Structure 1
Amino acid sequence: MDPLAERWRRAVSSVKELRLRVAFLRSEMLRAEPAAVARALDDLCRDAEQADPAARDVLGAVVPVLADPALSERVALLRELAASLALLSLSRLLRRKARRREAQPASPAPDERQVATSGAGRALTLGERRALARRPTRAAFDALLRDPHPLVIRNLLANPRLTEDDVVRLAARRPASPEVMTEIARHPEWPQRARVRMAIVQNPGAPPEIAVPMVRLLLRPELLQLAAAADVPAVVRAAARELLERRPPVPHKPGGALEQ
């Protein structure tokens, strides 16, 4: 057992609040030597592939950290270390589709028809929409959920009036905004909800850098559903199929029923 991975297991098991778990793992992943972090993550990924619940709990707190754009350089370094050190489980966690050499098109400009408006029909400014997202009325939620700006979505995701159904609608919206999907994935609590995770990984517009690590948190029936989905990126379907192959055989309960 890798000592850093074991430390993370003990810490996460003793902390019940999801925000604190994510904050702890973020601090640890920034503080420790990158090679040590890579080996610890590989150890945890290997156990999670075998459906170990403690390892899955740690990865549940790791996934929002990996989705944070502020840590993109650290994640890229971990990806390089996984390749150079032959850390195969970590490589599978951080897999992404091949980058094209040509320049990628810029994100489309915000569609003013999607943003909230004042009573007089004027499109609200970004500052006004961010303020509204902190304390929206129920009637304003529909407009705010369509808002294309990630900072508005960030404030909305932190609003205590937001429901799981709202977040599922947001994560399932097509065409998806990669920036909005990133905001959902980096939130410490919403990606822990099974319905939110499935909405993200099944959305063809979810960046594979977000969707592939999240596949590691799915249960067998969810993996089967994802592996059969024809409209998700091939790299996400492949991650689901590969994980199904690595899961231990499903034991039979008395009476012939299968355990999940």
Structure 2
Amino acid sequence: MKELRLRVAFLRSEMLRAEPAAVARALDDLCRDAEQADPAARDVLGAVVPVLADPALSERVAQLRELAGSLALLSLSRLLRRKARRREAQPASPAPDERQVATSGAGRALTLGERRALARRPTRAAFDALLRDPHPLVIRNLLANPRLTEDDVVRLAARRPASPEVMTEIARHPEWPQRARVRMAIVQNPGAPPEIAVPMVRLLLRPELLQLAAAADVPAVVRAAARELLERRPPVPHKPGGALEQ
């Protein structure tokens, strides 16, 4: 996982350092290869997705989205698609519920600083309460806790109504979005922001895309991304031992 973290950090620095048009063209080439189920391209794209989800890079991502349109970089445009169709009602972002925060033994609601410190402790004693915490900084610390399991993150990503800020924290983490179950929990959550879910769709395998394309409760833009990618994926070769999933 250390190698993955280094790769994400390197791609982040390059996205900020390099000339925007060059970054846009490189990402377009990468996306085009990934759409054809190229394993190496999909592997690199897996490290790009957390970078795109980082709010600190939102201006650069917006710039790349604009360049994708002006330079006719179609694969990149599909990766960075974010807006749902006009007729589709967008789910409202739930207001933080402070009743869900962890409490002390005396029943006092813990402060934000106390909850962040608790999320860093190498113990699962307060995990149930911390997984329900509405503050993204608490979730950020919790996601870095070595005691956190994949089941915990799937539970967090599948929670409804979803907090866009919490979903962003999961998506920007260098490791958790690489887990197939975590990705599916995010893209199938109606509250996941499309600018997070759509790039993640590019990492799904064919059976996952089929499942997502048929899901009635996800935003139309996410379903459309799944269907479009299914059309662009090459046919699955049939072999004596069975079909190879792509």
Q: Given the two structures, how large is their TM-score scaled by the length of structure 2? A: 0.94
TM-superposed deviation, 1:98: 4.8
Query: Would the aligned equivalents of 1:253 and 1:259 in 2 still touch at CA under 8 Å?
Result: no
Hey, what's the Cα distance between the residues in 1 that align with 2:242 and 2:103? 57
TM-superposed deviation, 1:164: 0.3
Counterpart secondary structure, 1:73: helix
Q: 1:80 to 1:153 in 2, by over 3 A?
A: same
Q: Deviations over 1:87-135 (max 9, x none)?
A: 0000000001159899999955421221000000111000000000000
Q: Deviations over 1:135-174 (max 9, x none)?
A: 0532310000000000000000000000000000000000
Give the counterpart of 2:155 among 157, 161, 169.
Answer: 169
Stretches of 4+ aligned residues off by more than 3 angstroms: 98-109, 255-260
Q: 1:257 to 1:111 in 2, by over 3 A?
A: closer
Q: 1:99 to 1:155 in 2, by over 3 A?
A: farther
> Given the alignment of the two structures, is residue 41 of structure 1 paired with residue 24 of structure 2, yes or no?
no
Q: Given the two structures, how large is their TM-score scaled by the length of structure 1? A: 0.89
Q: 1:107 to 1:114 in 2, by over 3 A?
A: same
Counterpart secondary structure, 1:17: helix
Deviates more, 1:75-84 or 1:106-115: 106-115
Query: Would the aligned equivalents of 1:45 and 1:90 in 2 still touch at CA under 8 Å?
Result: yes
Give the counterpart of 1:77 among 63, 71, 77.
Answer: 63
Query: Would the aligned equivalents of 1:252 and 1:259 in 2 still touch at CA under 8 Å?
Result: no
TM-superposed deviation, 1:17: 1.4
Q: 1:48 to 1:187 in 2, by over 3 A?
A: same
Query: Would the aligned equivalents of 2:167 and 2:186 in 1 still touch at CA under 8 Å?
Result: yes
What's the counterpart of residue 18 of structure 2? 32
Q: 1:156 to 1:83 in 2, by over 3 A?
A: same
The answer to which structure, 1 or 2, has the higher relative contact order (CA under 8 A, 6+ apart) is: 2
What's the counterpart of residue 198 of structure 1? 184
TM-superposed deviation, 1:256: 5.7
Hey, what's the Cα distance between the residues in 1 that align with 2:189 and 2:89? 23
Hey, what's the Cα distance between the residues in 2 that align with 1:243 and 1:158? 32
Q: 1:252 to 1:102 in 2, by over 3 A?
A: closer
Query: Would the aligned equivalents of 1:50 and 1:246 in 2 still touch at CA under 8 Å?
Result: yes
Q: 1:240 to 1:107 in 2, by over 3 A?
A: closer
Hey, what's the Cα distance between the residues in 2 that align with 1:108 and 1:201? 18
